[in-house]
Structure 1
Amino acid sequence: MSTQAATAAAARRGKLTPERETELYEAVICLLREGGYDSVTMEGVAARTKCGKATLYRQWGTKPRLVTAALDKRRCAVFTGIDTGSLVGDLREAAGVAASRRDRDAELMEAVSQAYIQHPDLRAALRETVIEPEVAALDAMLRRAVERGEIEADNPAIGFVAPSFLGMLRIERLFEDRFADPDTLRLFVDAVLLPALRVRSAPGDPSEV
């Protein structure tokens, strides 16, 4: 079942207020941060929110659907809305935004990444709620850059930008000795992505690589 279908089904069945629903979703997110996907149980969510376990099963049916709904409710693509008028500006802004959220989202990203690998039944939902919005936003930056004439449409590096950027967010904590600088993501953009993309200034754009 897709995220939209699961959410619609819950809405049809449910009597929960929006405030109560938000409280339940926050409990799921907290459990994900604290111990990963395996730490999320219907019993644990029920105990933390003083909600009957039967209510959770009636609303969402299974743990994957509950987790998916919680992530979907929280979904807010970090890079959506970034449009500085140049690819250099866009990627540097994305690096700054990601760095500012690093500590807050690190545990959740770790939990989601592990669940993505270990739980195939959850993979499609995680792609829809967590990964695809960020990829779409980064890809949009590149499309605009092609339209402005900043990069060549056939540059093979284009297809690697989103995976590389999101990959850096995933592995930074594994290489804390190497990526301790708070400007790591900005350096990654300047030293790796921009040279690979061979960015040139668009007409009337004063930005410099």
Structure 2
Amino acid sequence: MSTQAATAAARRSKLTAEREAELYDAVICLLREGGYDSVTMEGVAARTKCGKATLYRQWGTKPRLVTAALGRSRCALFTGIDTGSLVGDLREAARTAASHRERDTELMEAVSQAYIQHPDLRAALRETVIEPEVAALDAMLKRAVERGEIAADNPAIDFVAPCFMGMLRVERLFEERFADASAMRTFVDAVLLPALGATAPAEPEAEASTPHRPEV
């Protein structure tokens, strides 16, 4: 371990997991109440009765603190998804995203404007929140190529992760059009899979029920 990493680890060890969670909860509350601009080191320190110097020593900057709090408040959506097929992977990703839709979208909207205006926040969020999700989606596509499900030179491959992540953002802007959680599944089946040249299996038809006749 480098001297710098050892020093950082020593600093982190001064805060218990419970204390870190309390600080992160305060950041999330401030984000929900007033967005990114409402979060200040002074405000977090006052709300948690923590020394401001401790916050700077632990996280260095406000963007790092906010990003760490966002990272703790959400689980990695797509990491670990591997159903054995591209159709299964993308549909599971859609299901998972839909199940976390309200909670995650609200928080990301709270920092969306700041994401554009503050390069340091943008870099921190990309590193800790966005890039792991994009990497997981790209891994699904790489496995699909290796299995021969899609062509390696299909230009649509490079657009899947941006489109998927973008759909999660714009869904809230078109609530009258995408009112329920099935929108992401439809997006996968009607947009992504055709663009990739992959065919979704037909849904099994419900068997017609026939009245049971007792034997005589």
> If the length of structure 1 is used for normalisation, what is the TM-score?
0.86
Give the Cα separation in 2 of the matches to 1:200 and 1:168.
21
Q: How does 1:64-143 map to 2 (within 5 A)?
A: 64-74=63-73, 76-143=75-142
- State the shift of 1:108 in Å: 1.1
Tell me the residue number matched to 1:176. 175
Q: How does 1:52-67 map to 2 (within 5 A)?
A: 52-67=51-66
Give the Cα separation in 1 of the matches to 2:6 and 2:22.
19
- State the shift of 1:46 in Å: 1.5
- State the shift of 1:51 in Å: 1.7
Give the Cα separation in 2 of the matches to 1:51 and 1:39.
18
Give the Cα separation in 2 of the matches to 1:192 and 1:73.
32
Gaps of 5+ in 2: 204-216
* Cα pair 2:41 2:55 within 8 Å, conserved: yes
Give the Cα separation in 2 of the matches to 1:97 and 1:6.
37
* Cα pair 1:25 1:70 within 8 Å, conserved: yes
- State the shift of 1:64 in Å: 2.0
Gaps of 5+ in 1: 202-206
Q: Deviations over 1:36-93 (max 9, x none)?
A: 2111111221122122223223333331232233334456320011111110111111
Q: Deviations over 1:157-196 (max 9, x none)?
A: 0000000000000111111111113200001001100110
Tell me the residue number matched to 2:210. none
Counterpart amino acid of residue 156 in structure 1: P
Report the CA distance shift for 1:117/1:148 in structure 2 as closer, same or farther (over 3 A). same
Tell me the residue number matched to 2:10. 12
Report the CA distance shift for 1:42/1:167 in structure 2 as closer, same or farther (over 3 A). same
After TM superposition, the runs of 4+ consecutive aligned structure 1 residues lying more than 6 A away are: 5-8
Counterpart amino acid of residue 13 in structure 1: R
Report the CA distance shift for 1:78/1:63 in structure 2 as closer, same or farther (over 3 A). same
* Cα pair 1:151 1:200 within 8 Å, conserved: no
* SS of residue matched to 1:199: coil
Give the Cα separation in 2 of the matches to 1:198 and 1:76.
31
- State the shift of 1:143 in Å: 0.4
Q: CA RMSD in A?
A: 2.3
The structure showing larger relative contact order (alpha-carbon pairs under 8 Å, at least 6 residues apart) is 1
Total equivalences in the alignment? 200
> If the length of structure 2 is used for normalisation, what is the TM-score?
0.83
Report the CA distance shift for 1:19/1:161 in structure 2 as closer, same or farther (over 3 A). same
Counterpart amino acid of residue 81 in structure 1: G
Give the Cα separation in 2 of the matches to 1:71 and 1:174.
22
